[in-house]
Copies of this chain bind each other. A is one copy, B any other.
């Protein structure tokens, strides 16, 4: 079980731990599929049973290549544009779809299964609400994330998107400013943007649209990162929430590594580490987390 250790012992040091040395692995309880992702996966699996022919998702259902590969394996094809879906059933992914795509799918009379996360729908609702009530709208998020793109598509006016507090300094001033967040954003970033915007608007109306599961996951990751020597964050390299989880952990524990699967786990990272932390993004399947955990346990000679 200590092969992993010996393989990295390039300076010849004894890597096996002496007696009394206790290695601990902290696995975040909140790691992995959130409610919205689990729901989307369940809906897609059910659709694969009911409508095995001509079943598509518009863009990847979730931001995890392995999960998407699995869905493709059971016959669910990924298409980037409605134009590329000739007929059949289309699953709208957890991040939501744009107004235009939704309209086009209806016009084409495709059978629609809407797996948009209800928490994302709530963010869309508040964006429209603020816009309708005359507020300039500011979204704390990534302008190129499909969730943010979808929210913007429902509003005819310019919507501001910021992912750095200092960007707000160059915006405004406003009489009435409404603020929401991409559901998987960093809560600290959200707080900073709101705080700065107070200098720029007479009224600031904020709906905290960050998904509670995201906040809990980030808080737990921070708690674990504070007590370990090495932190592993597992999830799609294209997953925004996993990237942020890694960034948040890295601020506390610079030895934080973002991997997609157990294959990328470099045994060197674990050498002489006694306390190891493991968490995963909202779109990371449990089977991947389990594999990573197994690999870490094997490398450190821990019981499974």
Q: Using CB atoms and an 8 Å cutoff, list the residues of chain A in contact with chain B.
A: 187, 190-192, 194-196, 198-199, 201-208
Contacts and interface: CB of A to CB of B under 8 A. Distances in A.
Contact of A206 (B187, B191, B203, B207): B203
A206 B208 contact: no
Given A194-B198, A203-B207, 11 more contacts: A187-B199, A191-B195, A191-B196, A191-B198, A192-B195, A194-B194, A198-B206, A202-B207, A203-B205, A204-B206, A205-B206
Stoichiometry, as copies per complex, reads 2
19 contacts: A187-B199, A190-B198, A191-B195, A191-B196, A192-B195, A194-B194, A194-B195, A194-B198, A194-B204, A198-B208, A201-B208, A202-B207, A203-B206, A203-B207, A203-B208, A204-B205, A204-B206, A204-B208, A206-B206
Contacts of A207: 202-203
Q: Which of A196, A203, A208 has the most CB of B within 10 A?
A: A208
Interface centre among A190, A202, A203, A206, by most chain B C-beta atoms within 10 angstroms, is: A206
A108 to B, nearest CB: 37
Contacts of A203: 205-208
A194 B191 CA distance: 8
A237 to B, nearest CB: 30
